[in-house]
Amino acid sequence: WAIPHFEKMLYDNGQLASVYSKAYELTGNDRYREVVEEVLRFVELEMTDEGGAFYSALDADSEHVEGKYYRWTQEDVKEILNDEQYKLFADVYGIDLDPNFEEEFYALLLPNHWDDLEKRYEPWGSLNKKLAPMRAALLEHRSKRVRPLMDDKILTGWNGLMIRGFADSGRLLGQDKYTQMAARAADFCLEHLKDDNGNLLRTYSQGKAKLNAYLDDYAFLIEGLIALHKATGDEKWLSKADALMKAQLERFWDARSGGFYFTANDHESLLARGKNPVDGARPSGNSTSALNLIYLSKQLENKEYLDFARRTVQSVSGIIKNSPTASPRTAIAVELLGEQ
């Protein structure tokens, strides 16, 4: 898969920051650390509201053409770089090959495995330093193009995933700045994305919050608060997560079959209150809630939370048995419950 859909989603970047920071912790591979740093730098510069929360998405299109802002021709790059720079850049990023995008256009990507690059040139760290000013020159040129539009809605659940991304990265990379950004976004959500009764709301835009929150909003924000507790040890975040979990159980729990409905008990009337047990582009609210309950149970010594976690897992046991890859997070919860 060489050509992406060029839309940049907040929830993708939040999850990728968490995954790559964990990969860096496990391997010590500096390339993984660089990915984390580049992702979070982009989110900080392009997708962060002045209040500290995060915007939802950056469109794929500009001037009604998908990817136009990001695509390049050989001639574009030759005009920006000198001959020596172009030779190296073209080899590394594959623009000396046939176009990999539409017509004469290229989407820049690293076509070769890291080991191959290092065999032909030098260790990635030093090679990357040579490439950095070339990329900067292309970015400067690109900044003059018509930019894709930003969807500047602030969504509670998606912010929860990004809060976790920053908090995980701050903890695993030893960067307090990332943790502070996570905390600032969490404070924003807890202050501005609630109604007069203290219930979470779904979306914030132009100074106003509205719409009842869904299960994912509660589950992902709680997960972000838990990540902040892991990163800081501050009991404030544990207390906030606990309060939200109590509200989630009161408003979303299925007392008959276990697990959580997607909508709250005071949501507008629907023909049926559904559940989503499957991890997709975003994880399931149920699988995330099971993991949240397990963590809170241990930290707060609350056995009732552990029972709720078990019932949540049991409610989707058929899916796990028949298609475990449909909900890998639930499988992780099963493993953790077995350790209790």
Q: What percent of the chain has pLDDT over 70?
A: 99
What's the CA gap between 21 and 68, in Å, rounded?
30
Read off the pLDDT band of 268 (50, 70, 90): confident
| Angle at CA of residue 271, ends 268 and 275, nearest 5° | 85
**Ramachandran quadrant class, 263 (left: phi over 0; alpha: psi -120 to 50; beta: rest):** beta
Choice among 66-80, 103-117, 242-256 with the minimum mean pLDDT: 103-117
**Ramachandran quadrant class, 63 (left: phi over 0; alpha: psi -120 to 50; beta: rest):** left
Choice among 87-101, 181-195, 215-229, 237-251 with the minimum mean pLDDT: 87-101
Q: What is the pLDDT of residue 179?
A: 99
For the chain, how many residues are written?
Answer: 340
**Cα torsion angle, 263, 264, 265, 267, sign:** negative
Read off the pLDDT band of 182 (50, 70, 90): very high
Whether the pTM exceeds 0.85: the reply is yes
How high is the mean pLDDT of the chain?
Answer: 95
Mean pLDDT of 175-188: 99
Closest Cα to residue 187, out of 43, 10, 54?
54
Q: What is the pLDDT of residue 109?
A: 87
Read off the pLDDT band of 111 (50, 70, 90): low
Q: What is the pLDDT of residue 327?
A: 92
Q: Say if residue 270's pLDDT is above 80.
A: no
Greatest C-alpha distance within the chain = 70
Choice among 10-24, 78-92, 261-275 with the minimum mean pLDDT: 261-275
Q: What is the pLDDT of residue 301?
A: 97
Q: What is the pLDDT of residue 112?
A: 66
Q: What is the pLDDT of residue 224?
A: 99
Mean pLDDT of 300-323: 94
Q: Say if residue 129's pLDDT is above 80.
A: yes
What's the CA gap between 22 and 158, in Å, rounded?
20
Read off the pLDDT band of 247 (50, 70, 90): very high
User: Which residue's structure tokens are 């391997």?
Assistant: 27
Structural tokens at position 283? 């994880």
CATH number of 154-338: 1.50.10.10
Q: What is the pLDDT of residue 324?
A: 84
Mean pLDDT of 280-297: 97
Q: Where are the domains of the chain?
A: 61-148, 154-338
Mean pLDDT of 261-281: 84
Q: What is the pLDDT of residues 136-172, one digit of tens each?
A: 999 999 999 999 999 999 999 999 999 999 999 999 9
Q: Tell which wins on pLDDT, 1 or 260.
A: 260
Cβ atoms of 13 and 43 closer than 8 Å: yes
Q: What is the pLDDT of residue 4?
A: 86
Q: Say if residue 194's pLDDT is above 80.
A: yes
Q: Say if residue 70's pLDDT is above 90.
A: yes
Q: What is the pLDDT of residue 192?
A: 98
Q: If you write DSSP's letter for every residue of 30-51 in order, what string do you get?
A: HHHHHHHHHHHHHHHHHSB-TT
